[in-house]
Structure 1
Amino acid sequence: MFNAPVTVVLIALSMPVLFFFQRQLPDMGAAMAFAPIDLERGRWGGLLTAMLLHLGWTHAIMNAVGALAFGTPVARLFGDRIGPTVFLLFYIGCGVIAALGYALVHWGSNDAVVGASGAVFGLIGGATRLMGGQGRVLSLFDRRVVSASVAWMAVNAVTGLIGYAPGAEGARIAWEAHAFGFFAGLLAIGPLARAFGKGPPPIAAPDGPESRI
C-alpha cells in the first residue's frame, strides 16, 4: 500500500475529499443515497452515487485506507496499460453488486445505505485470492482462500450483529452489502485476471533463459 498505483491512490484520496464537499450540501447528500425501495421506483442512480457518500470522517478514512491496502495488489495484477480502466470497473462493479445484494435481502425497505464499503470489500475479496504473491490468482478452493474468506465473513457478521464499528456514527451496518461485495470480488478476480492480467513474473531457469510457469 506504500507504493500503490496512481488509480488506487486517487480512489482512496477521493473519499475524504468528496466527504468534505458532501458536508457542504444542505441534506448531507441524502438525496444521493441508495435505498432498496428505489429499485421499485425505477431510481437506479443511487447504486453509483451512494458509493461517493460517507457517514463521517472516520467512515471515509477507514474506507480510504481499506481501498489503499487491498486495492494495491488487485491494481498491480492488471498492469499499467488498460489496467486502470479494468480496476475501476472492477471496483465500481463490486460496489453496485453489493448494493443490489443489500436490496435483495431488504426488498422494499426505505433504509438508505451510503459508503464505499461494498466496493472496498470487493477489493478485499480480490486481494484474498492474491495472497500467494507473484501475481498468481489462487484457486477458490485453496485452503488459504477458504480460511481467509471464512475469517472475513465471520468478522463481518459479528460486526453487523453487534451493530458497532468505527465510523458507523450509530447507523446500522450493512454487513449484507459487505458480503455481496466480497464474494463479487472473490469470484470476478479469476476471469478478469485471465482476460486482462499481466501474468506472473518470469522465473529464471538455473542454467538458461527466463521462463514462465
Structure 2
Amino acid sequence: MVIPVHDVNPVRRTPYVTYALIAANFLVFLFMPGLSGSVAGQSDLAQLCHLQAFLDHYAAVPRELIHHQMPHLVPTGEVAAGPHGAACLAAPPDYDKSPPLSVLTAMFLHGGWLHLLGNMLFLYIFGNNIEDRLGHVRFTLFYLVCGYAAAYGYALVNESSGDPLIGASGAIAGVLGAYLVLYPRARVWVLVPFLIFLPLRLPAWMVLGFWFVLQAVYSSGSGVSEAGTVAYVAHVVGFLVGMALAWPLRPGTPPPPEPRRLLFGRQARHTW
C-alpha cells in the first residue's frame, strides 16, 4: 500500500471548504466520548459504554437506513452490574433519531486516530483540486452526495446489519474518483514501504487506480481476514459515484502542469 503525501497540481483559489471539513472532523473527534482511551490505547468499560451509546445515537445504521426500524433497546452509556459481571446498560431510547440525518452526522465521526488521520490526509491532498474545479458550493454538494451514496450503497448490501457506520471515507472516495477522472496525469508523491519508505512520484491514475482495486478486492472479502470491520463497499460506491459526477466536466478541465524538476512541489536545487 502506498501512502500519498503531496500532488503536483496547483490550484487557483483557496480551498476553504476542504479546510473547513478537515477542521470540523478534528473538532468532532476531539469531543467524542472515549477519546482518552483511544489515545492511550485502552478504554475502561464506562468509556466503552458511553462511546457505544454515542454511536448508536449519531452513527448511521444500515438496518435503520433501509427499513427505518429503530431498536427497542439502546445503550444508555451507563454500566450495570449483572450475574456475569458488569455490562453496558440498555433501555428504550429517549430520543428521536432520523436515519437520513444520521448519515450526515456519521460522516464526521471516526473510530480512532489512524482512521481520522488517514481520511484527512487523502482529503487534504486531493480535495483542493476538486474544490478548485467545482467551486465551493458545488464541491460541498458533491461531497455530501458522495457520502450519502456510499452510506446507502453499503446499507443496501448489508441491510440487516445493526453495526454503526462512521467515517468520511465514502465521501472522500468520491473525491478520489473525481480526481482520477479530471486529473489522471497529475503527479503524486507517495511513500512506498520497502524496508524503508521510498519516495516516488507516480501518475494519479496509478495511485488512485491501485487504491480502488484494493478496495474492490477487499469489499469481496478477499485478501483480508476481517473485511467486515471496514466498509469497503462504501468506498467502492463513493468512488464510482464521484467518477460519474465528474465525467461531464472532463472535457473542460485543463491538464495539470508537468514540471520536470520538482521536489514535493518546490523547485529542486538538484535532481536525484
Question: TM bucket by the smaller chain?
Answer: 0.7 to 0.9
Q: How many angstroms does 1:13 deviate by?
A: 2.2
Matched, 1:178 2:258: no
Deviations along 1:43-75, one digit per CA (max 9) or x if unpaired, are: 322221110110011111111111111111111
Counterpart of 1:41 in structure 2 is 68
TM-score, normalising length: structure 2: 0.58
Structure 1 residues without counterparts, runs of 5 or longer: 135-143, 166-170, 202-213
Q: How many angstroms does 1:146 deviate by?
A: 7.9
Q: 1:163 to 1:6 in 2, by over 3 A?
A: farther
| Partner Cα separation in structure 2 for residue 154 and residue 122 of structure 1 | 15
| Partner Cα separation in structure 1 for residue 117 and residue 27 of structure 2 | 10
The answer as to whether partners of 1:12 and 1:63 remain within 8 angstroms in 2 is no
Match of 2:181 among 119, 129, 144: 129
Q: How many angstroms does 1:145 deviate by?
A: 8.9
Counterpart of 1:7 in structure 2 is 17
Matched, 1:97 2:143: no
More strand by percentage: 2
Q: How many angstroms does 1:151 deviate by?
A: 2.5
Q: CA RMSD in A?
A: 3.1
Q: 1:164 to 1:110 in 2, by over 3 A?
A: closer
Query: Matched residue of 1:180: which SS?
Result: helix
Counterpart of 2:79 in structure 1 is none
Query: Matched residue of 1:64: which SS?
Result: helix
Match of 2:158 among 81, 106, 112: 106
Q: 1:19 to 1:163 in 2, by over 3 A?
A: farther
Query: Matched residue of 2:51: which SS?
Result: coil
Structure 2 residues without counterparts, runs of 5 or longer: 1-5, 35-46, 70-98, 187-202, 256-272
Counterpart of 2:266 in structure 1 is none
| Partner Cα separation in structure 1 for residue 145 and residue 168 of structure 2 | 12
Query: Matched residue of 1:45: which SS?
Result: helix
| Partner Cα separation in structure 2 for residue 152 and residue 58 of structure 1 | 17
Q: How many angstroms does 1:112 deviate by?
A: 1.6
Counterpart of 1:209 in structure 2 is none
**Aligned pairs, how many?**
180
| Partner Cα separation in structure 2 for residue 163 and residue 116 of structure 1 | 23
Counterpart of 2:211 in structure 1 is 152
Deviations along 1:123-181, one digit per CA (max 9) or x if unpaired, are: 000000122569xxxxxxxxx9987665333211344531579xxxxx70100000000
Query: Matched residue of 1:114: which SS?
Result: coil
Match of 2:51 among 16, 27, 30: 27
Q: How many angstroms does 1:27 deviate by?
A: 3.0
Q: 1:177 to 1:72 in 2, by over 3 A?
A: same
Task: Look up the equivalent residue of 1:20 and give its one-letter code.
Answer: L
Say which one has the larger Rg. Answer: 2
TM-score, normalising length: structure 1: 0.72
| Partner Cα separation in structure 1 for residue 253 and residue 215 of structure 2 | 31
Query: Matched residue of 2:176: which SS?
Result: helix
Deviations along 1:18-42, one digit per CA (max 9) or x if unpaired, are: 1001237943631111111112126
| Partner Cα separation in structure 2 for residue 132 and residue 59 of structure 1 | 26
Q: 1:178 to 1:199 in 2, by over 3 A?
A: closer
The answer as to whether partners of 1:95 and 1:119 remain within 8 angstroms in 2 is yes
Counterpart of 1:188 in structure 2 is 245
Matched, 1:55 2:111: yes
